[in-house]
Chain A
Amino acid sequence: MLTEQIRPAGNGAEKLLDVRDLRVHFDLGGGTFWDRVAGGKAARRIVKAVDGVTLAVRAGETLGLVGESGCGKSTFGRAILRLVEPTGGQVVFRGRDLARLSKEEMRRERRHLQMIFQDPYASLNPRMTVRDIIAEPLETFGLARGREADERVRELMRRVGLSPRFIKRYPHEFSGGQRQRIGIARALALHPDLIVADEPISALDVSIQAQIMNLLQRLQREFKLTYLFISHDLRAVRHMSDRIAVMYLGRIVELAEARAVYEEPLMPYTKALISAVPVPDPEIEARRRRIVLEGDVPSPINPPSGCRFRTRCPYAIADCAAVVPPLVEIKPRHFAACIRISPEEPHIERVAASSAPGLKFVAAANGA
């Protein structure tokens, strides 16, 4: 019963993607020769970019994944498509664990899940025409070639708001927003079920960001897409998402419906993140008090023990260093990873000093 409460599972809706305990660790080497021979790990440096993330994406929804640079959100997105190899855990997509597929099986599966990248300058081959960029996946999977592929490319270009007149042009002849449209058309070519969009608007001008967000939402309706929308921009994530997961140093620390995360955040980190977003309204800016966090995000090479946010958290107590807080359903469908709050008292400001009611969930999570 408690495990049900702890596992942030889909709420009746069909899970299209079910990621369980995903880990992506990068070994940076280091350590002496003898350390390595003898299996010592004195100076071995391992970056735990994603360290035990359990997250389900429901069919048809947009799940926003938000966090600061280095929190592992991009690595998480890439690990789902196996653009980086997971170190452990499962990525269950349409009933199969992608993490266990052979390279060839994975290549075939990618038809159903595609990615849109932040930098449309870097993700498009500069020597290929728009036609070849968009048609490449069609031809690779043998779905269309020649004239038929041309026709499909023109149709895709129209769907993403590009004039088919430009079909013979090269990426450098387009602006940033247009290049992002090319990347989106390519991702759509195979009619995928899931699109992982990694910072798709961050490199774009303000007036173009709105265009791309509107386009993504329209395409979601037209193609019945499911999105994992990864961004550091809270305003954009709030606008795009049904639910939002907040990530900090390789772990999910809060997960809830978008409105709840934005208007009633439970985690001190989420509160600080939201209060740090500048609001384009001088009246508000003059009155509001920011929670300015001390210091930087710690290095993921040697992350703090226990709760990783504790080094910057104004509410941290000794227990926070000792135990890793599990993600617990504090309010209905609102999960948070903090031992200082509980369903009985979800407001951390009101929790008695040095009280850690969440400790009872730690044992349950470890036993589960």
Chain B
Amino acid sequence: MNEALLSVRNLRTYFDSEDGVVKAVDDVSFDLQRGETLGIVGESGSGKSVTNLSVMRLIPEPPGRIVSGEILFNGQDLLTLTADDMRRIRGKRIAMIFQDPMTSLNPFMRISRQLMEITELHLGYSRARARAHAIEMLQRVGIPDAAARVDSYPHEFSGGMRQRVMIAMALSCEPELLIADEPTTALDVTIQAQILELIKRLKEETGTSVILITHDLGVVAGLTDHIIVMYAGKVFERAPTRKLFTTPANPYTKGLLRSVPDPAHEHGRELYQIPGLPPDVARLPPGCPFAPRCARAEELCRREFPPLVQLAPDHYSLCHFAEAVYAESLRERDARNQSGIGPAVKQGAEMDLSNESR
């Protein structure tokens, strides 16, 4: 009996390129429970987007191909479905939103038509019912004066509003799973805050499970239950959100967390930096792909691929020294707790703004 809504098992998605086979996703596994939000964090080339395009079966073939693995959605392996069956799931039971709303909105079609098309197709709504539903969806995502604006074209909306329209489209059929790929990266911070609040609220209202893909650790911190950190097509760490932030067990995760500027630091202080460049996935070294950039890498790391080490029932890290890194994080956490202040509490963001929010 599989409880998870989505269960990805040993997924490998490769691309053929001039430089040889690019293992964009290489043996990735994770579970997503119903009603849960999973964050997938990684830099460019980490494989985070390809993982989710694989789930949606949207990998362009050729040059891409899903080499092996299982993608169990409600226990059914999506990789065994026919293209037609998959089309019935996509948009209806699994929906996706992208960084740039214009990739999914047709610039020549009125918003109304684009929203109605989905429910007419997937749910068999009549025109009148589909139209009423379209207006209701726009209201739910916070488009003011929705009844009047439903017949607008996408260009008549601002970037933040387009992102809302795309979310309305994605949620039209009440999907069981929403995949959001960098949904706020192109937006300003105040608009990003609006969209993140919206996703959070809609998730609570509808019970939809969410996969949130981002490079921004700040975005996932407030919104997710679990996080997986990807690097070079592999899952480097997988943990509940709080554990990942307080006791990371992978040097790459630790490095990422430390390289974000802390507003409490005085100006001029050097930031922690991960040396080197994100990996060229077509030319990975034989051992750990992060070894060339890792401060604690030893000869072993350059020679042998690291094991996936389990540190707690739901905490895994891909590292030869995962236990040592984890122990170090635990010590650092205890030291912070003893000093009474977490590093976070000092941050400017902690100032009391609550009475101003209403």
Contacts and interface: CB of A to CB of B under 8 A. Distances in A.
Instruction: Tell me, yes or no, whether A binds B.
Output: yes
Given A207-B273, A235-B263, A278-B221, A292 B354 contact: no
A19 B188 CA distance: 26
A263 B275 CA distance: 31
B277 A175 contact: yes
A214 interface: yes
Nearest to A177: B277
Chain B binding site: helix, strand, loop or mixed by DSSP? loop
A143 interface: no
A275 B278 contact: no
Interface in A265-307: 268, 271-286, 288-293, 296-297
Interface in B210-265: 215-219, 221-223, 241-242, 245, 255-257, 259-261, 263, 265
A275 B255 CA distance: 25
B271 interface: yes
Given A205-B278, A206-B260, A207-B255, A283 B190 contact: no
Contacts of A234: 189
Interface in A205-221: 205-211, 213-214, 217
Interface residues of B, number: 59
B11 to A, nearest CB: 23
Given A213-B271, A214-B273, A280-B245, A238 B222 contact: no
Contact of B348 (A177, A206, A207, A274): A274
Contacts of A238: 261, 263, 267, 348
Interface string B196-212: 11000000000000000
Contact of B190 (A210, A235, A276): A276
A343 B178 CA distance: 50
Contacts of A276: 189-190, 192-193
B43 A207 contact: yes
Contacts of B161: 296
Interface stretch (A78-86, A183-191, A239-247, A331-339): A239-247
Nearest to A234: B189
B193 to A, nearest CB: 4
Contacts of B270: 214, 217
Contacts of B217: 206, 280
Contact of B344 (A175, A241, A283, A349): A283
B17 to A, nearest CB: 15
Contact of B191 (A206, A214, A259, A296): A296
Nearest to A70: B188
B56 to A, nearest CB: 24
B267 A278 contact: no
A274 B226 CA distance: 26
A277 B349 contact: yes
Interface in A45-65: 62
B353 interface: yes
Contacts of B216: 206, 278
Interface string B269-306: 01111110110000000000000010000000000000
Interface residues of A, number: 57
B259 A282 contact: no
Q: In the complex, which of the residues B273, B349, B356 has the most CB atoms of chain A within 10 Å of its own CB atom? A: B349
A314 interface: yes
Given A68-B189, A240-B267, A281 B277 contact: no
B194 A292 contact: yes
A314 B355 CA distance: 12
Interface string A62-94: 100000110000000000000000000000000
B27 to A, nearest CB: 23
B313 interface: no
Contacts of B103: none
Contact of A262 (B160, B348, B355): B348
A282 B348 contact: no
A282 B245 contact: yes
B188 A281 contact: no
Contacts of B188: 68-69, 232, 297
B357 A280 contact: no
Q: In the complex, which of the residues A177, A240, A262, A276 has the most CB atoms of chain B within 10 Å of its own CB atom? A: A276
Q: In the complex, which of the residues A209, A259, A277, A293 has the most CB atoms of chain B within 10 Å of its own CB atom? A: A277
A258 interface: yes
Contacts of B351: 263
A178 interface: yes
Contact of A278 (B218, B268, B342): B218
A98 to B, nearest CB: 28
Interface string B318-358: 00000000000000000000000011110111110111110
16 contacts: A69-B188, A206-B259, A207-B256, A210-B259, A210-B261, A213-B271, A259-B267, A271-B353, A274-B348, A279-B222, A281-B343, A281-B347, A282-B221, A296-B161, A297-B188, A314-B356
Interface of B: 43-44, 158, 160-161, 188-194, 196-197, 215-219, 221-223, 241-242, 245, 255-257, 259-261, 263, 265-268, 270-275, 277-278, 293, 342-345, 347-351, 353-357
Interface of A: 62, 68-69, 175-178, 205-211, 213-214, 217, 232, 234-236, 238-242, 258-259, 262-263, 268, 271-286, 288-293, 296-297, 314, 349
